[in-house]
């Protein structure tokens, strides 16, 4: 079973920031938070990951609360191409077999 909880769907206007929340209240000290997305039926695509600190890359920002029980993925300027299912995953730094994908959040970016 997935160790994360995400809203099933969200809408966002094109050009606005998309903030996707994730709860992971049972996260343990050595577990990372990873985000992936799946556009239509393509393979999931890695977006970003973090342990404690907030992270930013060319795709997104990841904000992790101080108690690490929740996080938010931020797409700063959503485009229509960002419409996808976004998965939040908690796993140890060796990933592997314990990387469990839940149902994710279906993000609709609207013009």
Partner 1 sequence: DTAVSQTPKYLVTQMGNDKSIKCEQNLGHDTMYWYKQDSKKFLKIMFSYNNKELIINETVPNRFSPKSPDKAHLNLHINSLELGDSAVYFCASSQLDRPNGYTFGSGTRLTVV
Report the interface residues with partner 1, using CB under 8 A: 32, 34, 36, 41-46, 49, 85, 87, 93-97, 99-103
CA-to-CA distance for 85 and 95, rounded, in angstroms? 20
Least Cβ distance, residue 47 to partner 1 (angstroms): 8
Name the residue nearer to partner 1 (CB basis): 34 or 82: 34
Least Cβ distance, residue 3 to partner 1 (angstroms): 14
Please give the order of strands across the beta sheet that includes 31-38. 9-13, 105-110, 84-92, 31-38, 45-50
Name the residue nearer to partner 1 (CB basis): 60 or 111: 60
What's phi and psi for 77, nearest 5 deg? Answer: -140, 85
Name the residue nearer to partner 1 (CB basis): 40 or 67: 40
Q: In angstroms, how far is CA 103 from the centroid of its own chain?
A: 12
């Amino acid at each position: 079973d997935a160790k994360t909880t995400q809203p099933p769907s969200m809408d966002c206007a094109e050009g606005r920031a998309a903030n996707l929340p994730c709860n992971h209240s049972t996260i343990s000290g050595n577990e990372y938070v990873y985000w992936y997305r799946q556009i239509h039926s393509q393979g999931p695509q890695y977006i970003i990951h973090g342990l404690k600190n907030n992270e930013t890359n060319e795709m997104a920002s990841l904000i992790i609360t101080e108690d690490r029980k929740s996080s938010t993925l931020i797409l700063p300027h959503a485009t229509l191409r960002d419409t996808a299912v976004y998965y939040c995953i908690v796993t140890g730094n060796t990933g592997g077999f314990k990387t469990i994908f839940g149902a994710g959040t279906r993000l609709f970016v609207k013009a």
